[in-house]
Chains A and B, each alone.
Chain A
Amino acid sequence: MSMDFSEFQRRLGADPSDPALAKERTSGPEFEEAAVAAQDFEQVLIKALCIPAPNDLLDNLKSIPTRLPGTGQKKPWALALAASLLMTAGAVGLLWNTEPAWDSVDEYVADHYRHDGYMLVEMVGSHSGDEARALLARFDVGLADEFADVVSVVKSCPTPDGKGVHMVLNTAEGPITVIYMPKTTVNDREMLEFDELQAMLVQLDSGSAAIIGNTVEQVAGLYPMVDRAIRPYTERS
């Protein structure tokens, strides 16, 4: 038994490619007209929905296994070091480092920011200067008031060389991220770009930092303040 026109329209709207509708098209001119209109709309809908993926998407996905700890190619010395760390852990407690390894600071900055950088920028709100000072104090560095006054989000984070501090500053130009890396050496004022973001590396007197924002002007504008505000305690006392 053939379906009535309203049922035909309903099923057409639910699934225009339903093969069961093909023979119903011949039931009358209004059926055929509705089917053609639905096909036209579907073409536009497909075009609207099938947005292009970022060019680097597949490469980034395929590189996931090599960016994880315990995967990818391991160097013999790294295996030996890992083994010795495990043995030490048995004697003195849990020391195993679960942080992923990065081949370069550039890779670290992009990878770490993608991990939770976007989310932390969204959390900008309350003032966290004291918390930032407390975390930085673990690395024997202090923070000038001009920096502490605009810190909004703070958390401990991994860096290529151990723990560091991830901060989001609430500036007049919008939220800007600063990652402090206490043991990492960088090329001062080297610019990086990833995910349409700009980053500047800053070599400090003690450790280094990455400033990450939306524009070159934003990160370059913050450089002088970062450079003078994060100082070893000995210099500030």
Chain B
Amino acid sequence: MSKEAARHSRFNELAEAYGTDLYRYAMWICGNDALAKDLVQETFLRAWKALDSLNDIGAAKSWLITILRREYARTFERKVPKFTDVDTVVVPEETELEPDDRTELRQLRQGILGLPEKYREPLLMQVVLGYSCKEIAAALNISDSAVMTQLFRAREQLKAQLQKDGVTGNVHGLF
């Protein structure tokens, strides 16, 4: 395999492995489908250009997330993205759900979008990206205990929001 072909192959592996997770992460931090796609495109564009600087493939995920977060920060400097209704992106997969479950998911998603960024981002890193508390702490440059507090509060706020909305659904015994 030529050097260029190997580079393409490596890039495709990154896209396969992390493209979907990065889109989900981007979608939840910006709340805007078009912007999320743009952020992921831009992230992978930069990744392609700098691919030779990635020596440790095990560090690829955090490398990509760092690029995406920087790109998002740059976007945020230029404009404040409008939060959209996340239902526009997720409706297709949920036709098989019962109405109560759909309501529960919808309200939970609205709750996630409504979380303060300092709570939402660690939660996304943990649930969507599979980061450990230590990895989140390193990515956000905060202490492990601060991460644990923010994760705890994020979940508590979401549970409280669901309770306030009167949702019980399948989440028995939560409250």
Residue of A15, A47, A54, A60 touching B105 (CB-CB under 8 A) = A47
| B92 & A52 in contact (Cβ 8 Å cutoff) | yes
Contacts of B86 in A (CB 8 A): 51
Interface of A is mostly: helix
Residues of B within 8 A of A (CB-CB), count:
59
In the complex, identify which listed stretch (B17-25, B54-62, B65-73) lies at the interface while the others stay far away.
B17-25
User: Among the interface residues A14, A44, A54, A122, which one has the most CB atoms of the partner chain B within 10 A?
Assistant: A14
Residue of A11, A50, A64, A68 touching B148 (CB-CB under 8 A) = A11
User: Among the interface residues B92, B128, B155, which one has the most CB atoms of the partner chain A within 10 A?
Assistant: B155
Contacts of B41 in A (CB 8 A): 60-61, 64, 114
What sequence of 0s and 1s flags, for each residue 30-71 of chain A, a beta carbon within 8 Å of any chain B beta carbon? 000100110011001111111111100110111011001000
A162 on the B face (CB < 8 A): no
Can you name the residue of chain A whose Cβ is closest to the Cβ of B86? A51
- Tell me the complex Cα distance, A68–B41, Å: 12
| A37 & B174 in contact (Cβ 8 Å cutoff) | yes
- Tell me the complex Cα distance, A138–B101, Å: 58
Residue of A50, A52, A53, A123 touching B19 (CB-CB under 8 A) = A53
Contacts of B170 in A (CB 8 A): 40, 44
| B108 & A44 in contact (Cβ 8 Å cutoff) | yes
- Tell me the complex Cα distance, A169–B174, Å: 51
Can you name the residue of chain A whose Cβ is closest to the Cβ of B133? A15
CB distance from B143 to the nearest CB of A (A): 13
- Tell me the complex Cα distance, A62–B133, Å: 31
Contacts of A58 in B (CB 8 A): 15-16, 19-20
| A64 & B79 in contact (Cβ 8 Å cutoff) | no
CB distance from B3 to the nearest CB of A (A): 13
CB distance from B125 to the nearest CB of A (A): 11
| A49 & B173 in contact (Cβ 8 Å cutoff) | no
Residue of A45, A49, A61 touching B44 (CB-CB under 8 A) = A61
A13 on the B face (CB < 8 A): yes
| B105 & A48 in contact (Cβ 8 Å cutoff) | yes
- Tell me the complex Cα distance, A36–B171, Å: 10
- Tell me the complex Cα distance, A53–B21, Å: 8
User: Which B18-56 residues have a C-beta within 8 angstroms of A?
Assistant: 19-20, 23-24, 27-28, 33-35, 37-38, 40-41, 44-45, 48-49
Residues of A within 8 A of B (CB): 10-11, 13-15, 33, 36-37, 40-41, 44-54, 57-58, 60-62, 64-65, 68, 114, 118-119, 122-123, 195
